[in-house]
Structure 1
Amino acid sequence: MKRKVLTLLTFVFIQIIQAQVQGVNPLLAKDSITQNVWVDSIMKTMSVDEKIGQLFMIQAYSNKDKKHEDFISNMVTKYHVGNIIFMQGTPDKQVVLNNKYQELAKIPLMVGFDGEWGLDMRLKNTYRFPWNMTLGAIQDTVLLQEVGKRIGEHCKRVGIHVNFAPVVDVNTNPNNPIIGNRSFGESKENVAEKSIAFTKGMQGVGVLANAKHFPGHGDTEADSHHTLPTINFSKQRLDSIELYPFKKIFGAGVGSVMTAHLSIPALETNPKLPSSLSKSVVTNLLQDQLGFKGLVITDGLNMKGAANYSTPAEIDLAAILAGNDMLLIPQDVPGSIRLIKKALVEGKLTEERLNHSVKKILKAKYLVGLNKYKPIATENVVKDINSPYDEVLHRKLIKNSITVLKNEGGILPIKNLKDKKIAYVSLGSDSGSDFYEMLKNYTKVDKVSDKHLSVLNKKLEKYNLIVIGFHKSNKNPWKGYKFSNKDLVWLQEIARNHKVILDVFASPYSLLQVSSFSNIEGIVMSYQNSKLAQELSAQALFGAFDLKGKLPVSIQNEFKVGHGLLVDGLDVLQYTIPEEAGVSSEKLSIIDKRIDTILQEKMSPGGQILVAKDGMVIYNKSFGYHTLDKKLPVKNSDIYDLASLTKILASLPMIMKAEEERKISLFSNLGDILPRYSKSNKDTLLLKEVLSHYGRLRSWIPFYLHTKDSITGENSTKFYRKKRTPKFSIKVAKNLYLAKEYKDSIYKQIVDSEQRKRIGYKYSDLGYYIFKEILERKYKRPLNKLVEEQFYQSIGANRMTYLPLNKFSKEEIVPTERDNYFRHQLVHGYVHDMGAAMLGGVGGHAGLFANANDVAKIMQMFLQDGSYGGKKYLEPETVHKFNKRYYENKKVRRGLGFDKPQLNPKVKATCGCVSDVSFGHSGFTGTYTWADPATGVVYVFLSNRIYPTMRNYGLVKSNIRTKIQQDIQDAILMAE
């Protein structure tokens, strides 16, 4: 009884679907009366030959010679061919030829294209979106509609009217050689939903979609390009699986369908007759039973699945007799015309039947605007179809597709970086370089490889997390995706001995080969090995955004279709293009011209500029060279002497932390904290005053001058040696060691120094000598160790450090000045500031080195009220407390440690375009960083403008750093 009820319900459901489809005519325009008038007026003027010509869509190329162009022209003028499908070539040439062929046509040509993932499927210099399998993992169908719309807009721009997409095949067979990645997956509901959304997007901009390959090519193990595949299933199975998405998309109004070359015994009694040529399939099933009223177009008739059946002309006639409206890529147009005309004479084909298809074709032409045909504009074609918006959309698609299959122990996202020693191992036959380079933006990651597994495992012993990237070719969706036997063995052996995250940049079917996942803690499916997929997946591993993709196919019983773990992101930097952050890339590109000026006028040999907005890095470029000899180009990973940026990137975070932990108070007197100041002229100075540069301290003391021989002017042997000894142990520079007792002399000079008599603002380095001493006493640790342990390691700022030569090679460190007054050498890898150098390279005011990326991390942490990467470093109240002017009524613009926008318009501390809540600092070596909570902007500028000498003031006098700040602001306004 239950079975009968279910059968009845199924029958009713089918009837309802068919009734819905019967009422949909996707070829009817909103102004259908006018449409019919136009169609009838054309029909009245057409000869039989012209009508027959409308049935053909011949292939045209934009990368062939004049002979081919003449052939197409002849087809249009002599044989009245009414439609063309463009194949390989370039968009510029295609537009030119499109206009040429249209000019020759009596009735405007309908132009087709096979662009499932965009124009890139056929044309060079065009945009490529992800394969359908990748899109099948996305849960937000609005994104599918957006990609359909954008592909449709690209098509329209180059004169295409019907795009042969989407693929509606349900890929239930992992061994399918031709569909696979072209399918949205194995779930019929998911395929239907994604196909409909894509179709709505594309047809919404006036380009006909095409549902293919009817009645379903998803469960074959043969390629119809080379042979006739057999689908040996019952009608019930076909109706339940293969036909399901077709029925749904017909009901949603898809404009055309493509009939496949398949042998389907359950639908066609002649097993050798391709379904595309079967009246039982094309007419009885597709049009009568399912009620499809749109254009019916064959798959390519040059494919062996059809071409092996008979002669080209006989195949074309058979396709029309079967019920197709249009013949795609016919191989013998003249012969087919003769045979069709003969069939008309003999009564095998009626003129009524011919008119039926011609009218449908003309209605479709009206629907896509060919009743008001205009030539396609030939200017800026490539630019128009490769806009930043395309990449923004592409990024959204990838972000939403990345799927987490396993997350044992919460290994994802990677956090607690202080405790992580990470290695990257690349498997597969393609490159993972973009993945690796992006991983390194977040923390120290070493690429480890070897020809021998035993040696590799030995190398990996010092790491506690291994990221394995499996990379296969992304050239096209048919490329091989399988693991080699070697890769499978290596994967299991590495996973047996280490904590592993496996990131797969290939078809999910590749995981079918993996015998066991038990030793793999994290599994991420990234689907494709494109540059964007690699970069975004690397970001995802560190929590740049939420992960919410769902597997579009099953991996045996291990991971079922629809499986996907939700993983929340962390508040870490993302790396993207300006438009994703609401900034104009065109406007922002003026920075490149500023760079040209810097280099041409030798304001600095080179530098780094980084811009982030709302946590997204939108500009991150290195320019020029380390020195004027132009031997070593600057790389993003190279580190610069940050000079006074040290104050807010090293000392200030520790001061804030100490204040939170009540180790110090902003209202404490120096004399109360440091006994040596208790009887000095600074004993009553408040820490708040010193941090605000309101403590009447001298700006600086040239300590090094006091260590020179008064007669020779050279460094006195009383204080210096060329080699380290127990007594001379402070390394100032290469082959220059200072007596260790002199550190006390430096602090004594500060204690004894005269105070400025005039009360008011005066920028001073001396306060940070004092803060260094306070912090080191309170925490009983050197300042460089403190900030490394408390901030840099866990935040992933592995390229921010004091004493850089202890961690990096000289090739990674940009030199500063050719010093001829103190160290008498090129200062390279040692702090430029003389006082900090005399403290051994670690000063509270100077000594820090970093690249722009790591500076941005600390500034973003401040911008995010003390949190970064899921960890709270400082309380929000603390950040707000320090980012505040306490002596504004005394004309002091500074906050506590932070520089603030100028109060005096004549001062150029900023561009004057940032908000009052913004903060930052500048550095003597040519550095600058600023963050603005009002706009979410972090800006970093690093240079060695003091090369070859500190007298090189071009960068300072030009105010180019703050001009770039204005450029950033203008780019935001432009975008809005």
Structure 2
Amino acid sequence: MKRFFQCTLIAVLLSALALQPGTSEADAKQHSEQSVKQMVSDMTLEEKIGQMLMPDFRNWKKEGDSSAKELTEMNDEVAGIIQRYHLGGVILFAENVTGTEQTVRLTDGLQKASPDTPLFITIDQEGGIVTRLESGTNLPGNMAIGASKSSKNAYRSGKIIGKELAALGINVNFSPVLDVNNNPNNPVIGVRSYSSKPELAGKLGIKTMKGLQDERIIATAKHFPGHGDTAVDSHYGLPLVPHDEKRLRSVELAPFQKAIDAGIDMIMTAHVQFPAFDDTTYKSKKDGEDIMVPATLSKKVMTDLLRKDLGFDGVVVTDALNMKAISDNFGQEEAVVMAVKAGVDIALMPAQVTSLETEKNLTGVFEALLKAVRQGDIPIEQINQSVERILTLKMKRGILDNTAPESLQKKIKYALKTVGNQKHAKSEMKMAREGITVLKNSSGTLPFKPKKGDTILILAPYEDQTRAISKTINKIKKKAVLKEYHFAEKVFNEEVEKQIDQADYVITGSYVVKNDPVVNDGIIDDNIQDSSRWATAFPRAAMKYAQSKQKKVVLMSLRNPYDTANFEEAQAVIAVYGFKGYTNRRFRQPNIPAGVEVIFGKAKPKGTLPVDIPSVTEPGEILYEFGFGLNLKNGKPLK
């Protein structure tokens, strides 16, 4: 308990000092730095190493249990691990945060397990398709905000997420995403990015950062130096960005430099190879082949580029080290040592720990770092600098200031009022509406104006998506007959043709992560109907058949807007930038409902594309340019 009281006393003294007449910001900062250095000097090497490790406890198998279960309640076994390794933080996942009161109790328990130095409790709550909170506000996501071009929406999204995380006892958000998504075939970033333009990505990312920080949440820019121009998901392989330094500085690095200048707290690394900055090779443990060292493990990137060149002196955290880009090629213990040697401050998910039996994985990593420092492979001065950054940030954001903690019941009461409240839901829906983008509307197809008794056929890949569309139509009181059909892994056939024949209006949703149509001499081959092509082939076939029968048809792009290039012949096309539908009696994202409102004329589309949409049939050509979007009322481009 000694260090906890020391931290608290320092925080109080610094607050008092800042209030003293004549005390300058520079004086307060100097005192803070001196206090942190003293705290670090009083720590053992084991305590310092512990501050630099951030595992997850997503699932846990208690002694006597037959299998691991989602960790939703704190237990003595996890508390013991936090204490034995002096952990500086943990990361939470959806498995951990299943309800508001439950999450408050869990975070409270986690902090009580670390009485000496309060934890970083972190989460990936980006908004949109990457959300962890079961009961939180989902928000439309970054690319939808990019389509609105609204700094106000970006700030408001950060503010809402920050307020909810703070209420739950979470103090670090791994957001905003500053990747510039200029590769339409990117399988992992896509709508998580604000834009393909570095200027817009940087501007909106900084506004989101400010919203988070205004709620005392630590903001984290990711994935440095940039994961936007990759065609490989680093969860499964090792991506490479081959561009030269000039291009990387003007595109990929630009948003990060702006965020550094604006005061970003943390930066998360990318497990991506950047030969323009470091072409050092390493013999892969997977197959013995020579591979280039990815940014996470590169001193030339983490220290020379990020620290010395771009001037970042905040906390650097790795992306999850259990991702295959790292784990397959470098091995668990060596990867952690390499990352720290490269200059990172925190190793995220350095070892899988799901039980006391697997605690040995964390022990191995912990001891490997201790050995590297004791043998001089990692200078103790470097460890001290990392821990100083960590503690400085904890102090700056009030994590060390716990002089008058609220009771658990007060925390729960406040969280229940805050998380997912109606005010946030209203803002969420407004943001979603402002991002909806109409790309095509031939012959006045939109808005749909069904008469009583007309049939509307809803086609989408998954049941939660068709349900979201039908729920929204019922909500806006359209007295029509609704029919749903979810087509994932299915082939377009006579059964679907009959349903289209009986319909007056057809809404078909397209959910394509990566364009993969069969093209022959510039023509998409519509005869390819095997199950591997369902994501493109089924909605195309439905669209073409319905239009041949003079039905009113709209194609709704549910995820990456790039898939709209597969439907050039469509009468009407809208992009909503979010695919999550209606499950567990709630809308998982506002995007589909907002799109339906536009289809039926209940909302005005205000969005314009935040990316270029390349043509599928004419390689090298742009089908829809950045900034394009139609006014539904007059059919003219929005300005």
- Note whether the superposition's TM-score is higher than 0.5: yes
Report the Cα distance in structure 1 between the residues aligned to 2:550 and 2:344, rounded to whole angstroms.
59
Among candidates 315, 337, 340, match of residue 320 of structure 1? 340
The answer to which structure, 1 or 2, has the higher relative contact order (CA under 8 A, 6+ apart) is 2
Among candidates 299, 307, 310, match of residue 290 of structure 1? 310
What residue is the counterpart of 1:102 in the other structure?
111
Question: Residues 64, 158 of structure 1: CA spacing in aligned structure 2 closer, same or farther, 3 A cutoff?
Answer: farther
What residue is the counterpart of 1:723 in the other structure?
none
TM-score (norm: length of structure 1): 0.51
Kindly state the Cα deviation for residue 344 of structure 1 after the two structures are TM-superposed. 2.8
The equivalences for 1:107-186 within 5 A come to 107-117=117-127, 121-186=131-196
What residue is the counterpart of 1:203 in the other structure?
213
- Kindly indicate whether the alpha-carbon contact (under 8 Å) linking 2:148 and 2:607 is maintained by their aligned counterparts in 1: yes
- 1:281-318 residue CA offsets vs partner (Å, 9 max, x unmatched): 11111111111121111111111211223332222111
What residue is the counterpart of 1:468 in the other structure?
507
1:523 and 2:558 correspond: no
Q: Residue type of the partner of 2:33?
A: N
Among candidates 64, 69, 87, match of residue 81 of structure 1? 87
- Kindly indicate whether the alpha-carbon contact (under 8 Å) linking 1:481 and 1:507 is maintained by their aligned counterparts in 2: no
Report the Cα distance in structure 2 between the residues aligned to 1:541 and 1:170, rounded to whole angstroms.
30
What residue is the counterpart of 1:682 in the other structure?
none
- 1:687-724 residue CA offsets vs partner (Å, 9 max, x unmatched): xxxxxxxxxxxxxxxxxxxxxxxxxxxxxxxxxxxxxx
Question: Residues 222, 97 of structure 1: CA spacing in aligned structure 2 closer, same or farther, 3 A cutoff?
Answer: same
What residue is the counterpart of 2:550 in the other structure?
498
The equivalences for 1:537-686 within 5 A come to 537-556=595-614, 557-567=622-632
Question: Residues 487, 104 of structure 1: CA spacing in aligned structure 2 closer, same or farther, 3 A cutoff?
Answer: closer
RMSD over aligned CA atoms reads 3.1
Question: Residues 568, 194 of structure 1: CA spacing in aligned structure 2 closer, same or farther, 3 A cutoff?
Answer: farther
1:213 and 2:213 correspond: no
What residue is the counterpart of 2:12 in the other structure?
none
- 1:441-498 residue CA offsets vs partner (Å, 9 max, x unmatched): 45543446894465456435xx5xx342316599xxxxx9973423212202322442
Structure 1 vs Structure 2: percent identity of aligned residues? 30
1:377 and 2:408 correspond: yes
Question: Residues 492, 404 of structure 1: CA spacing in aligned structure 2 closer, same or farther, 3 A cutoff?
Answer: same
Kindly state the Cα deviation for residue 515 of structure 1 after the two structures are TM-superposed. 4.8
- Kindly indicate whether the alpha-carbon contact (under 8 Å) linking 2:268 and 2:318 is maintained by their aligned counterparts in 1: yes
Q: Residue type of the partner of 1:521?
A: Q
1:387 and 2:421 correspond: yes
- Kindly indicate whether the alpha-carbon contact (under 8 Å) linking 1:168 and 1:183 is maintained by their aligned counterparts in 2: yes
Kindly state the Cα deviation for residue 362 of structure 1 after the two structures are TM-superposed. 0.4
Q: Residue type of the partner of 2:395?
A: Y
- 1:617-654 residue CA offsets vs partner (Å, 9 max, x unmatched): xxxxxxxxxxxxxxxxxxxxxxxxxxxxxxxxxxxxxx
Kindly state the Cα deviation for residue 34 of structure 1 after the two structures are TM-superposed. 4.6
Report the Cα distance in structure 2 between the residues aligned to 1:265 and 1:350, rounded to whole angstroms.
26
SS in 2 for 1:400: helix
Report the Cα distance in structure 1 between the residues aligned to 2:91 and 2:613, rounded to whole angstroms.
38
Report the Cα distance in structure 2 between the residues aligned to 1:481 and 1:37, rounded to whole angstroms.
62
SS in 2 for 1:156: helix
How many residues are matched?
529
1:264 and 2:286 correspond: no
- 1:237-262 residue CA offsets vs partner (Å, 9 max, x unmatched): 22222112212222221111011111
Q: Residue type of the partner of 2:186?
A: N
Q: Residue type of the partner of 2:107?
A: N
The equivalences for 1:755-766 within 5 A come to none
Report the Cα distance in structure 1 between the residues aligned to 2:120 and 2:79, rounded to whole angstroms.
15
Kindly state the Cα deviation for residue 275 of structure 1 after the two structures are TM-superposed. 1.4
SS in 2 for 1:523: strand
SS in 2 for 1:177: coil
Report the Cα distance in structure 2 between the residues aligned to 1:319 and 1:72, rounded to whole angstroms.
25
The equivalences for 1:863-902 within 5 A come to none
Kindly state the Cα deviation for residue 341 of structure 1 after the two structures are TM-superposed. 3.0
Among candidates 559, 563, 568, match of residue 507 of structure 1? 559
Report the Cα distance in structure 1 between the residues aligned to 2:506 and 2:49, rounded to whole angstroms.
60
- 1:870-919 residue CA offsets vs partner (Å, 9 max, x unmatched): xxxxxxxxxxxxxxxxxxxxxxxxxxxxxxxxxxxxxxxxxxxxxxxxxx
Question: Residues 442, 388 of structure 1: CA spacing in aligned structure 2 closer, same or farther, 3 A cutoff?
Answer: closer
SS in 2 for 1:209: strand
- Kindly indicate whether the alpha-carbon contact (under 8 Å) linking 1:120 and 1:126 is maintained by their aligned counterparts in 2: no
Tell me, which stretches of 5 or more residues in structure 2 are unaligned? Answer: 1-24, 65-70, 282-290, 352-360, 485-492, 514-531, 582-586, 615-621, 635-639
The equivalences for 1:670-819 within 5 A come to none
SS in 2 for 1:300: coil
Q: Residue type of the partner of 1:47?
A: T
Report the Cα distance in structure 2 between the residues aligned to 1:116 and 1:212, rounded to whole angstroms.
11
Among candidates 533, 537, 540, match of residue 488 of structure 1? 540
Question: Residues 291, 82 of structure 1: CA spacing in aligned structure 2 closer, same or farther, 3 A cutoff?
Answer: same
SS in 2 for 1:213: strand
Report the Cα distance in structure 1 between the residues aligned to 2:473 and 2:112, rounded to whole angstroms.
53
- 1:717-760 residue CA offsets vs partner (Å, 9 max, x unmatched): xxxxxxxxxxxxxxxxxxxxxxxxxxxxxxxxxxxxxxxxxxxx
Report the Cα distance in structure 2 between the residues aligned to 1:281 and 1:500, rounded to whole angstroms.
53
Larger Rg: 1
- 1:61-85 residue CA offsets vs partner (Å, 9 max, x unmatched): 4876479844432332222122121
Kindly state the Cα deviation for residue 209 of structure 1 after the two structures are TM-superposed. 0.9
Question: Residues 104, 430 of structure 1: CA spacing in aligned structure 2 closer, same or farther, 3 A cutoff?
Answer: closer
SS in 1 for 2:154: helix
- Kindly indicate whether the alpha-carbon contact (under 8 Å) linking 1:550 and 1:563 is maintained by their aligned counterparts in 2: yes
Report the Cα distance in structure 2 between the residues aligned to 1:150 and 1:291, rounded to whole angstroms.
30
What residue is the counterpart of 2:253 in the other structure?
243
- Kindly indicate whether the alpha-carbon contact (under 8 Å) linking 2:594 and 2:603 is maintained by their aligned counterparts in 1: no
Kindly state the Cα deviation for residue 375 of structure 1 after the two structures are TM-superposed. 6.1
Report the Cα distance in structure 2 between the residues aligned to 1:255 and 1:82, rounded to whole angstroms.
16
What residue is the counterpart of 2:385 in the other structure?
356
Kindly state the Cα deviation for residue 568 of structure 1 after the two structures are TM-superposed. 5.3
What residue is the counterpart of 2:435 in the other structure?
401
Q: Residue type of the partner of 1:85?
A: I
What residue is the counterpart of 2:327 in the other structure?
307
Question: Residues 92, 60 of structure 1: CA spacing in aligned structure 2 closer, same or farther, 3 A cutoff?
Answer: farther
1:459 and 2:502 correspond: yes
Q: Residue type of the partner of 1:353?
A: Q
TM-score (norm: length of structure 2): 0.75
- Kindly indicate whether the alpha-carbon contact (under 8 Å) linking 2:128 and 2:142 is maintained by their aligned counterparts in 1: no
What residue is the counterpart of 2:368 in the other structure?
339
Tell me, which stretches of 5 or more residues in structure 1 are unaligned? Answer: 1-27, 475-479, 570-976
SS in 1 for 2:251: helix
What residue is the counterpart of 2:469 in the other structure?
435
Question: Residues 191, 30 of structure 1: CA spacing in aligned structure 2 closer, same or farther, 3 A cutoff?
Answer: farther
Q: Residue type of the partner of 1:78?
A: R
